[in-house]
């Protein structure tokens, strides 16, 4: 039994090596992204572990079948970038890691909310551009406890975010297409998404990307939101129309945005060793805005999360190769 791990970051290597040693299984790792060319490196291996948001295409799964590879174990939650019918047609079983560390992403969403609520971007802009600092009316922020936070998606991450926002004294309202039957009275569900849009001072997105929510946040929605509202997206870039978001930020339709995921993320963005300069015009434009905090899909990135992602992903591969069904199987 031997596995290959793609798109490996430096901080993952110790956990990969330890897992292989502890389980007596050969595990090769590579920094390359998994695609039609690099999949050839997997010849002779029993399974692949991968972490990326670019596409896993039908052609890629045809290559899996040709190479005799039946198992793909993701180190992340989302499967919206996977051609699942093609995987099934080529006999490839897929697992994910649905709960590697909900608190890691939830904390990041709260951090972004605090940064934007307290106008830190405006302070940094003055320091960076003018090399001076003095009190300014533009620096006056708002307490989280003064605000209503709308959380969209009440899975593990959404629930962790709700707990943290509630801990800071916020009023929390939530929405989920499939609401929890028991909330322990820790929050209330809004009657509709429109209520979330219209009443929230901060909206934090924690739902998976689907065909139904593609560009859910667009010009029409931004018009419904308060002009003092902040949008936080640590979920998937496709949920937010980037062009409409930039217009909303520039025109004052909303007050700010924390963006950890953006549409059409490149492979370079996910390459921890890449020395290429960022050239995406939308990323560069938002990076210069004092009312935006944009980060390179890093909300998950804590030591606990990385360890869990490796351990669960490789554990799922071992389970499948041994002919058993892992609990994280994606149907």
Report, as residue numbers or ranges, the catalytic residues: 236, 265, 297
CB 300 within 8 A of CB 270: no
DSSP state of 259: E
C-alpha radius of gyration, the chain, whole number: 21
Tokens coding 325: 């069904």
Q: Compute the distance between CA of residue 283 and CA of residue 294 in angstroms, rounded to an integer.
A: 8
Sign of the dihedral through C-alpha 297, 279, 282, 215: negative
Tokens coding 105: 């992403």
SS3 of residue 141 by DSSP:
coil
Contacts by residues 213-219 (CB-CB < 8 Å, ≥ 24 positions apart)? 213/238, 213/239, 214/238, 214/239, 215/239, 215/240, 215/241, 215/244, 216/240, 217/241, 217/244, 217/245, 218/244, 219/244, 219/247, 219/248
Q: Compute the distance between CA of residue 35 and CA of residue 52 in angstroms, rounded to an integer.
A: 11
In 97-215, beta strands by DSSP E: 148-152, 171-175, 188-189, 202-205
3-state helix, strand, coil in the chain (%, to 5): 40, 15, 45
- SS3 per residue for 69-107: CCEEEECCCCCCCECHHHHHHCCCEEECCCCCCHHHHHH
Tokens coding 159: 């629930």
């Amino acid at each position: 039994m031997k596995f290959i791990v793609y798109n490996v970051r430096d901080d993952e290597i110790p956990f990969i090596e330890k897992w292989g040693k502890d389980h007596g299984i050969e595990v090769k790792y590579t920094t390359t992204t998994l695609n039609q060319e690099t999949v050839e490196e997997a010849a002779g291996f029993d399974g692949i572990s991968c972490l990326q948001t670019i596409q896993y295409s039908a052609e890629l799964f045809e290559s899996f079948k040709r190479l005799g590879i039946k198992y793909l174990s993701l180190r992340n939650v989302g499967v919206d970038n996977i051609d699942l019918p093609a995987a099934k047609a080529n006999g490839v079983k897929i697992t994910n890691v649905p709960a590697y560390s909900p608190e890691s992403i939830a904390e990041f969403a709260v951090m972004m909310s605090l940064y934007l609520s307290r106008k830190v971007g405006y302070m940094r802009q003055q320091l960076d551009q003018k090399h001076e600092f003095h009190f300014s009316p533009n620096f006056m922020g708002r307490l989280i406890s003064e605000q209503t936070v709308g959380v969209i998606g009440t899975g593990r991450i959404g629930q962790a975010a709700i707990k943290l926002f509630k801990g800071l004294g916020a009023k929390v309202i939530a929405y989920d297409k499939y609401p929890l039957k028991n909330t322990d009275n820790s929050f209330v569900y809004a009657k509709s998404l429109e209520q979330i849009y219209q009443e929230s001072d901060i909206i934090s997105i924690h739902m998976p990307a689907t065909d139904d929510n593609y560009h859910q946040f667009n010009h029409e929605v931004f018009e419904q939101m308060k002009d003092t509202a902040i949008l936080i997206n640590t979920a998937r870039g496709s949920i937010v129309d980037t062009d409409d978001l930039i217009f909303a930020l520039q025109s004052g339709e909303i007050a700010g945005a924390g963006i950890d995921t953006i549409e059409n993320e490149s492979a370079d963005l996910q390459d921890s060793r890449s020395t290429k300069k960022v050239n995406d015009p939308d990323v560069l434009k938002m990076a210069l805005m004092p009312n935006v905090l944009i980060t390179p899909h890093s909300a998950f990135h804590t030591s606990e999360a990385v360890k869990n992602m490796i351990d669960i992903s490789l554990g799922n591969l071992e389970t499948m190769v041994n002919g058993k069904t892992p609990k994280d199987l994606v149907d």
